[in-house]
Amino acid sequence: MITLKEAKNYLRVDYEEDDKLIQNLLFTSKQLVMDVGRMNEDSFSQNEDTVRTAMLFALGYLYESRSNPDYQKLTLNLRSILFAQREGVI
């Protein structure tokens, strides 16, 4: 859903040294969004705009806080972004 190029642009990274890290964080972001949003692959792809926003938020947080992330804070923020999907509103 989010390419490495898009992720690097969002993070404002213009070098290749962190490519593997960013790819791993993209995978982690997707898994977090699916878990927090209580989504399977189908519902994940159906809510593309909200999911992209949540993934980019998670990616940015994980990248910037990679030495000491607060997963509780991240989860609460993702719950706020994904509230409608979690509660079945959309």
Give me the pLDDT at residue 40, please: 86
Q: What CA–CA distance (Å, rounded) separates 42 from 76?
A: 23
Compute mean pLDDT per 10 residues along the chain, 90 residues long, and list them: 95 96 96 91 85 96 94 94 70
